[in-house]
C-alpha cells in the first residue's frame, strides 16, 4: 500500500450492518511499507462490481483472505456485508496496529484472524480454503502474482473462489486463474479473477 495523501478524509465502512463505522486514522502512514488504504470510492465500486458481476454475490457467507491487508478496510467491509470470516495477512508493524484497532472498532475479534506473514510466502493453509480473496499489494512490484502463486500452492484458495486484485494497471491472470473483468478507477485498476 502506498502512503496516503495529506489531508485524506476519515475512512468509514460504507455498506452493510457496520455502515458508517469510522476506521482508525492512518495519520502519517508508513512510507517504507507502502501503506495506502483503499479509498471509499474504490471500495464502494469494488463491492458493487462483485455484487453485479457474479451470480450469486460472492460476499455473503464468504471465507475471506485479505492479502497485504493494511488497515483491513476491505476485509471489514466484507464482514459488514455478510462474510462469515476474514483472515488478514500483513507484515507491516504500523499497518498491523491500525488493523487490530479497526478489528476492535468493528467488534470482530471472534470472526477474524491476523497473520504477521509475508503474503508472497504463505506456506500451507491449515484450515478451510478461502472463497473470496482481496489482493492489494504495493503497485508495480510483481508481488500480487507471487502472493497468488503462494496462496494457490499452499491450498489457501478454494476452487471457484473470486479474487479482487488492486493494481496500477490491468493484470493478466496467472496460472490457475481465469479473468472475469478489469475496471479502472483513477490510479487504481480492479481485476477480478476466478480460481480454476
Closest CA to 16 of 82, 87, 93, 106: 82
Task: Identify whether 134 is part of a domain.
Answer: yes
Q: Which three cell numbers stand for residue 110?
A: 471472534
Total residues found in the chain within this entry: 196
For the chain, the 3-state helix, strand and coil shares in percent, each to the nearest 5, are: 25, 25, 50
Q: How far is CA 55 from the centre of its chain?
A: 20
- CATH code of the domain containing 106: 3.40.50.150
What span, in angstroms and rounded, lies between the C-alpha atoms of 121 and 49? 29
Report the domain count for the chain: 1
Q: Residue 16 falls within a domain, yes or no?
A: no
Grid cell at residue 111: 470472526
The boundaries of the domain holding residue 148 are 31-195
In a domain, 7, yes or no: no
Beta bridge partners of 64: 86, 132
159 located within any domain: yes
CA distance 60 to 120: 27
Confidence of residue 5 (pLDDT cuts 50, 70, 90): very low
- What pLDDT, on a 0 to 100 scale, did the predictor assign at position 9? 58
Is residue 12 situated within a structural domain? Answer: no
Q: Is residue 4 part of a domain?
A: no
Grid coordinates of 188: 487504481
Considering the domain boundaries, does residue 6 fall inside one?
A: no
What pLDDT, in 10s, does the model give residues 109-136? 999 999 999 999 999 999 999 999 999 9
**Which is more confident, 27 or 70?**
70
Q: What is the mean pLDDT of residues 88-92?
A: 96
The pLDDT confidence band at residue 52, using thresholds 50, 70 and 90, is confident
What's the confidence (pLDDT) of residue 68?
Answer: 96
How many other CB atoms are there within 10 angstroms of residue 90's CB atom?
28
Amino acid at each position: 500500500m502506498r502512503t496516503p495523501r495529506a489531508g485524506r478524509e476519515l475512512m468509514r465502512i460504507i455498506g452493510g450492518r457496520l455502515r458508517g463505522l469510522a476506521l482508525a486514522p492512518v495519520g502519517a502512514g508508513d512510507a517504507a511499507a507502502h501503506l495506502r488504504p483503499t479509498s471509499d470510492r474504490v471500495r464502494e465500486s469494488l463491492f458493487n462490481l462483485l455484487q453485479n458481476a457474479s451470480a450469486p454475490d460472492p460476499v455473503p457467507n464468504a471465507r475471506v483472505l485479505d492479502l497485504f491487508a493494511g488497515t483491513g478496510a476491505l476485509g471489514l467491509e466484507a464482514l459488514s456485508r455478510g462474510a462469515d470470516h476474514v483472515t488478514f495477512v500483513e507484515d507491516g508493524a504500523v499497518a498491523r496496529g491500525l488493523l487490530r484497532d479497526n478489528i476492535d472498532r468493528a467488534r470482530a475479534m471472534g470472526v477474524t484472524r491476523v497473520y504477521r506473514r509475508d503474503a508472497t510466502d504463505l506456506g500451507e493453509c491449515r484450515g478451510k480454503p478461502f472463497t473470496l480473496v482481496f489482493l492489494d499489494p504495493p503497485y508495480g512490484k510483481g508481488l500480487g502474482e507471487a502472493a497468488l502463486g503462494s496462496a494457490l500452492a499452499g491450498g489457501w484458495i478454494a476452487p471457484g473462489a473470486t479474487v479482487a486484485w488492486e493494481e496500477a494497471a490491468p493484470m493478466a491472470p496467472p496460472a490457475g486463474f481465469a479473468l472475469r473483468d478489469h475496471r479502472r478507477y483513477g490510479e487504481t485498476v480492479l481485476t477480478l479473477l476466478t480460481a480454476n
